[in-house]
Amino acid sequence: MINIAIPALYGVTLDRIKRVSFVDVAQLPVSPIPPPPPAEALGLITWDMLPLVRYTPATPLQAFVQMSNPSGEARWYVIGYYFLDLNGIALAEGYIEFLCGDIRLNAFRLPPIAEAVEPAHFSLEFSSNENDRVFGLRMLLSEMVGNSAVVIQETSRVETLLASKSTYNRLQQSSLMNTVVGVAMVTFIASVSMKIFASA
């Protein structure tokens, strides 16, 4: 189970926020599939979490999240979250609800980066009752239909693996081994190249 505190949203003016219902709450795929890289041109989300965190269940974590609109026109967005097991099975998913002053909202309109006074951002506090789970956020381009939102597409995502000690150590060792093999290959190729040039 994932626990998410309602964050305050900054960098978005009151005339650019809405509390909406969703035309179809099952619009998100069960097992998230990353959007193609060109989609980031329609909306970009970033955060300061590492992709791999050694995690103790029920420990609150805090992430600083920024959203921007790299396109040339103002667009509406919602932020979705997902919580997966190590097999990619969705255990929970939904939409982040924000506070802007005293107003609760779940959709916001971002101007193009060139027109933004400051980046839209929030600090998100979350925790999980279990480890070896993936927690992620998705920036979702939306279209407003009255007081409802239709998700058009996912533009970008961020995620972190809340790893147990054994999973963390295994993945760190695997990463270290890949680095060692990579350095060895570069060294080998460099020495072969030098021998070829020396014999030429």
Lowest mean pLDDT segment, chosen from 119-123, 161-165, 180-184: 180-184
Q: Write the pLDDT tens digit of every residue in 22-58.
A: 655 445 554 566 777 777 889 999 999 999 999 999 9
Which of residues 14 and 114 earns the better pLDDT score?
114
Instruction: Note the pTM of the prediction, 2 decimals.
Output: 0.80
Pick from 79, 70, 67: nearest CA to 112 = 70
Q: Write the pLDDT tens digit of every residue in 76-97.
A: 999 999 999 988 888 888 889 9
